[in-house]
């Protein structure tokens, strides 16, 4: 469950715009919701939309950070079939009642479209983690299908606002608790600031609770691994956003190899994938490792074939060491490797040294001596 930071005493006596500043900051200080200027909020006062201005950070926003734009002028933009980014920025500035204000958020039209006084938008880690998986559509539907408008990924800005405008023509807004944007984030709204904020916290908690519900029995895993390795071990479990995102990807990605050859003596070439049948999955890894050894071995003696790290599907990664110090070293290597693999995939595909070169490095006596303290 997410931490709800709303304090009735702190909020007492605030006017509407001050309340908008207050709850915006509550969202902005939570890095599980927004990072480095992400997310946006708004309030409608009479016929004016005060929406977060470009360049302002929700965690430290002031009244001056909200750009006042005429709601009617923003909604008229939805009559266009297409609108370039430059034209959208131009027309949004023309809608401003204060020409010295910053450019309104790229989501200003959507904020104007949502028929509630307070609108909150975040890029919540838990929501995006669910969405950014191979079966993200079904997971989001499972968690949010009842009372949320679920929108496929669409480029933010005019295109997104236009698509939602089409989707909600026959929608009863009072039946919705929020809007889920695939691969992007979540909107919540209400005519009351506290309610809109609470809706955000509760909605994101639904995703967090789902992810926790898919947790793993670490004690059971540890017992199985100690049995396979033949000695006591320490585990380092990492469920950071990047670890969860990596763990949600296709299985082929996990087998792409090490970041640099020297890492293989710590991590082996790849991790074991754990989904639900822990012992079977670890045994399968051990069999694959033994087959790998047979393919390339000549006079070498096989190393312990049990894995040195795990990918827990849709959950995170686990480093395995003989002690806490070794587990920390392996965790550091894992996290750097994960980031390199994900970046490499965006550059046309990550590729490490091949399996034969990996074996030669793993069983090179000079490398093994490093682990022996020589």
Residue 345 inside a domain? The answer is yes
Regarding whether 232 and 352 lie in a shared domain, the answer is: yes
Regarding whether 201 and 229 lie in a shared domain, the answer is: no
% of the chain exceeding 90 in pLDDT: 86
Q: What's residue 23's pLDDT?
A: 98
Regarding whether 224 and 140 lie in a shared domain, the answer is: no
Residue 1 inside a domain? The answer is no
Q: pLDDT (tens digit, 9 = 90+) per residue, 288-316?
A: 999 999 999 999 999 999 999 999 998 89
Regarding whether 190 and 42 lie in a shared domain, the answer is: yes
Q: Which residue has the higher pLDDT, 319 or 262?
A: 319
Residue 363 inside a domain? The answer is yes
Regarding whether 362 and 343 lie in a shared domain, the answer is: yes
Q: pLDDT (tens digit, 9 = 90+) per residue, 101-121?
A: 999 999 999 999 999 999 999
Query: How many other C-beta atoms lie within 10 A of the C-beta of residue 288?
Result: 15
Contact (Cβ atoms closer than 8 angstroms) between residue 95 and residue 70: yes
Residue 374 has pLDDT above 70, yes or no: no
* Domain boundary pick from 182, 212, 242: 212
Regarding whether 185 and 240 lie in a shared domain, the answer is: no
Regarding whether 80 and 26 lie in a shared domain, the answer is: yes
Listed residue (71, 202, 70, 214) closest to 135, CA to CA: 214
Report the CATH number at residue 334: 3.40.225.10
For the chain, what is the domain count? 2
Task: Say how far apart CA 182 and CA 173 lie, in whole Å.
Answer: 19
* Domain boundary pick from 212, 246, 278: 212
Regarding whether 345 and 226 lie in a shared domain, the answer is: yes
Under DSSP, the state recorded for 203 is H
Contact (Cβ atoms closer than 8 angstroms) between residue 15 and residue 99: no
- Residue in the block written with tokens 């990550």: 350
| Two structure tokens written together for 260 | 């640099």
Residue 215 has pLDDT above 80, yes or no: no
Task: Say how far apart CA 42 and CA 51 lie, in whole Å.
Answer: 4
Long-range contacts of 102-105 (CB under 8 A, 24+ apart): 102/53, 102/54, 102/55, 102/56, 102/65, 102/67, 103/53, 103/54, 103/55, 103/67, 104/49, 104/51, 104/52, 104/53, 104/54, 104/67, 104/69, 105/40, 105/42, 105/51, 105/52, 105/53, 105/54, 105/67
Range of the domain at 45: 8-212
Q: pLDDT (tens digit, 9 = 90+) per residue, 321-352?
A: 999 999 999 999 999 999 999 999 999 999 99
**Single pTM value for the model:** 0.66
Residue 294 inside a domain? The answer is yes
Residue 240 has pLDDT above 60, yes or no: yes
């Amino acid at each position: 469950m997410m931490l709800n930071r709303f304090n009735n005493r702190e909020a007492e006596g605030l006017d509407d715009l001050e309340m908008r500043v207050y709850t915006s900051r509550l969202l902005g200080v939570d890095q599980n919701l927004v990072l480095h200027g992400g997310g946006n909020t708004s309030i409608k006062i009479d016929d004016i939309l005060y929406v977060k201005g470009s360049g302002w950070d929700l965690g430290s926003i002031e009244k001056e950070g909200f750009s006042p734009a005429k709601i009617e002028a923003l909604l008229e933009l939805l009559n266009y079939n297409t609108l370039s980014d430059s034209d959208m920025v131009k027309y949004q500035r023309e809608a401003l009642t204060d020409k010295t204000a910053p450019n309104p958020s790229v989501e200003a039209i959507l904020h104007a479209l949502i028929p509630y006084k307070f609108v909150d938008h975040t890029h919540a880690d838990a929501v995006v983690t669910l969405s950014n998986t191979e079966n993200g559509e079904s997971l989001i539907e499972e968690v949010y299908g009842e009372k949320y408008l679920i929108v496929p990924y669409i480029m933010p800005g005019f295109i997104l606002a236009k698509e939602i405008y089409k989707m909600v023509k026959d929608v009863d807004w009072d039946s919705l608790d929020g809007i889920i944007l695939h691969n992007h984030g979540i909107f919540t709204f209400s005519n009351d600031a506290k309610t809109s904020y609470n809706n955000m916290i509760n909605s994101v908690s639904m995703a967090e609770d789902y992810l926790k519900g898919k947790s793993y029995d670490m004690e059971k895993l540890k017992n199985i691994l100690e049995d396979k390795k033949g000695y006591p071990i320490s585990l380092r479990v990492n469920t950071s956003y990047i670890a969860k995102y990596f763990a949600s990807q296709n299985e082929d990605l996990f087998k792409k190899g090490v970041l640099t050859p020297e890492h293989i003596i710590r991590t082996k070439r790849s991790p074991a994938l754990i989904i639900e049948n822990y012992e079977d999955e670890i045994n399968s890894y051990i069999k694959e490792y033994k087959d790998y050894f047979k393919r390339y071995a000549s006079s070498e003696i096989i190393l312990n074939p049990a894995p040195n790290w795990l990918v827990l599907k849709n959950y995170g990664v686990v480093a395995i060491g003989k002690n806490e110090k070794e587990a920390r070293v392996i965790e550091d290597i894992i996290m750097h490797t994960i980031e390199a693999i994900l970046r490499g995939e965006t550059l046309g595909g990550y590729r490490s040294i091949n399996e034969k070169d990996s074996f030669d490095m793993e069983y090179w006596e000079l490398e093994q001596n490093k682990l022996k303290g020589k």
